[in-house]
Structure 1
Amino acid sequence: QTDLGEGSKANPVAVIPIQHVDGPLDESDFVAFVNFKYVARDFIKYQVSYISCTCRQAATNYWSTAFFELTLPESGLLDDAVLKTMSFESDSEDHYLSGFWGDSDPIPSGMTYEQIRDEYITWFVGQTYGDLKDLNFITDIDPVAFSEGEGRTDYSIDAYSGATVSTNNIIRVINAIFKHHGTDYHFENDPSLVVAETEAEVPVEESVVSEEAPAGTTVEKLELPPPRDLTKTYKAADSEEEVQATEDCYLTACSSITADNLIDYLGRDDVLYIDLRNYEDYIMKHFRNFEVIPYFGQIFNAEAHTDVSMVHLYGGTPKEPVPVYEESDKMLELLFPKDQTLFLLCQSGGRVAMMMDILAARGWDMSKIYNIGGMAQYTGREYRPYIVDTMEFGIVPEYTVTGLTRVE
């Protein structure tokens, strides 16, 4: 048992079947590993690791890792989903190294990885699952279709006939990730899909959310539980043993409101909802009606009390914060009102725990402050109507302060 998976601070992971093919075209039932699934507004990002070449010794049989983006078509039909991106190198924005080519380069036929990337893989990109699902081997690709399109007239599928391991298993991993894509609830009404019982829809209680309820609201207001669930256990930083939750445990593991039940407590007028991530993360994906107060941008930096170039309110440590300005506590109360119930969110819950340490150290009533975890944990289908997904946007914030008196 691990802490990875749906609802964890990491993105969802999975083990999926893939039918591997070797040089002599013998097929074997292998598995591939989906290292993450990230749901954007109209597509999903995946990173998939799989073994392609089995013809060499284990010391050189490296696994390949491919980055995919597959669309979520308005039709709700998997056949209409498009292979938007496939890469063994950077992601689609060229921000991160998201893939790895594990096969020979060049492959035995003399074909280089660069040729496979530029000529072969590009043929699949832009096509739908309906276009690709009947392909099993490169010999199933229509030679005429392969040479169609701008700049492709000199490309021939016959050039890849000796590259059966690499090229055939690219087809296999594409089919495998498309089939896994079909398990997303977006395709739940696709009549061509048989959904396994374990992947069936998780019902949402009608008393909590209904189709008539606008995003950010609840049907009824439930009594708030105490912020810490003292029946839970957690691993302390200095121990491998599970210990009992206490009132001064501000970790997500000790919280009474998490991804399991936040849906019951959204849209309340007696709660202030705060996102502690930086603006550049917030703008790409966030809960509706959450105010952003960047913890690392405005609230805390360990060196802020000794480095005059920093604008944060506190330095030192979260448990022993050192005010940077004479007005630091006043500013903190403006941002985190003492008389209100606060639901604090970040990416995984870690920043929230540090923020709560600061609030506790500066005299806040911690019986009103909740660590509701991080955006990474809110991957369940019930939360999608409440989340704004605008990955196309970017922001370059500049944090400054004026009119505050720095403590000498």
Structure 2
Amino acid sequence: MTVKEEKEMKKFIGCFIVITLFMMLSACSNEVSVQQTRALPKASVDAGSQFGVDGNINIGTIDDWLGRDDVAYIDVRMLVDPGDYDKIGGDPVLSGTVEGFQVVPYPYLANLTGLPPEVAASQYSGSTLFTLTWDADGIIDTIQPNYEESEMIIKDLFPEDKAIFLMCGGGGYASFTRTLLIELGYDPEKLYNIGGFWQYNGNRKVHVKVSYGENNAKEYNALHRLNYRLIDFNQLNKKTSY
């Protein structure tokens, strides 16, 4: 091959690589565009679900609905839950989540009720934005804000102009959150309980539990990897009148 032919060949290969990369980027862009413009179905509770998980958008289909600008993705678990979820086959530590989800723990939003006895024995009982009471059928009867900023914080954390995808460990906290938001005036058709991360088998997992050292004998939970939304009750003003 002459020097001229070699130069022409290199030029051809370079152009081929550029065109291939352009086509790949265009394909990825089109995929994202289709995902963004695909209409969201209205939230529709699966009648057979114990916790009211959505029939269309749930932990089994969530990968198809990630990365949207019109959705707020919220994991409502605590970083380390004092409730003993190990006893019911769960994990009290938020040792993994799904890409794009922010963490806003439900137990900081309102007082808990209805948890399994094994969990309820040590459940979180500290400060909350709201205090709820329930009627004999377990329906929310009253909602009282505990702080002057309670409603403001809820509006910040759960934007009303977006659909809201709620996830927890097994589906319970997400159900509680959806019910609370509906009682606070949110549109039920834009609130999706997608279920529990413990059943997630998709490809967008954020690994929080890390193994390291010889033979990976050591491990810790890299909670700094999470997009955690802090509610600092020490910065809030107690509500004194209603």
TM-score bracket for the superposition, by shorter chain length: 0.5 to 0.7
Q: Superposition pairs for residues 179-218 of structure 1, below 5 Å?
A: 218=32
Going from structure 1 to structure 2, the CA distance change for 1:405 and 1:367 (only over 3 Å counts) comes to same
- Does 1 or 2 have the higher relative contact order (CA < 8 Å, sep 6+)? 2
Task: Give CA-to-partner distance per residue, 1:194-236, whole Å, 9 cap, x none.
Answer: xxxxxxxxxxxxxxxxxx869xx8562221111015xx43277
- Give the corresponding residue for 1:156: none
- Contiguous gaps of at least 5 residues in structure 1: 1-211, 237-249, 304-308
- Give the corresponding residue for 1:48: none
Which of 186, 198, 205 is 1:364 aligned to? 186
1:233 alignment partner, SS class: coil
User: Structure 1 or 2: larger helix share?
Assistant: 2
Question: Which protein has the larger Cα radius of gyration, Structure 1 or Structure 2?
Answer: 1
Which of 79, 82, 100 is 1:289 aligned to? 100
Letter paired with 1:251: G
Query: In structure 1, how many angstroms separate the alpha carbons of the residues matched to 2:100 and 2:155?
Result: 20
Task: Give CA-to-partner distance per residue, 1:332-351, whole Å, 9 cap, x none.
Answer: 11111111111111011111
Q: Superposition pairs for residues 2-401 of structure 1, below 5 Å?
A: 218=32, 220-221=34-35, 222-228=38-44, 232-234=46-48, 251-252=52-53, 254-280=54-80, 283-296=94-107, 298-302=108-112, 310-317=126-133, 319-320=140-141, 321-379=143-201, 383-384=202-203, 386-391=204-209, 392-393=220-221, 400-401=233-234
Letter paired with 2:68: R
- Contiguous gaps of at least 5 residues in structure 2: 1-26, 81-91, 114-124, 135-139, 210-219, 225-229
1:316 alignment partner, SS class: strand
Q: CA offset at residue 311 of structure 1?
A: 2.4
1:357 alignment partner, SS class: helix
1:402 matched to 2:218: no
Once the two structures are aligned, what percentage of the paired residues are identical?
Answer: 28
Going from structure 1 to structure 2, the CA distance change for 1:404 and 1:255 (only over 3 Å counts) comes to farther
Going from structure 1 to structure 2, the CA distance change for 1:282 and 1:291 (only over 3 Å counts) comes to farther
CA RMSD of aligned residues (A): 3.2
Give the conservation status (yes or no) of the 8 Å contact 1:325–1:406.
yes
Give the conservation status (yes or no) of the 8 Å contact 2:44–2:55.
yes
Give the conservation status (yes or no) of the 8 Å contact 2:208–2:223.
no
Query: In structure 1, how many angstroms separate the alpha carbons of the residues matched to 2:49 and 2:104?
Result: 28
TM-score by length of 1: 0.37
Query: In structure 2, how many angstroms separate the alpha carbons of the residues matched to 1:351 and 1:272?
Result: 17
TM-score by length of 2: 0.60
- Give the corresponding residue for 1:90: none
Aligned residue pair count: 170
Query: In structure 1, how many angstroms separate the alpha carbons of the residues matched to 2:238 and 2:47?
Result: 43
Q: CA offset at residue 395 of structure 1?
A: 5.6
Q: CA offset at residue 322 of structure 1?
A: 2.3
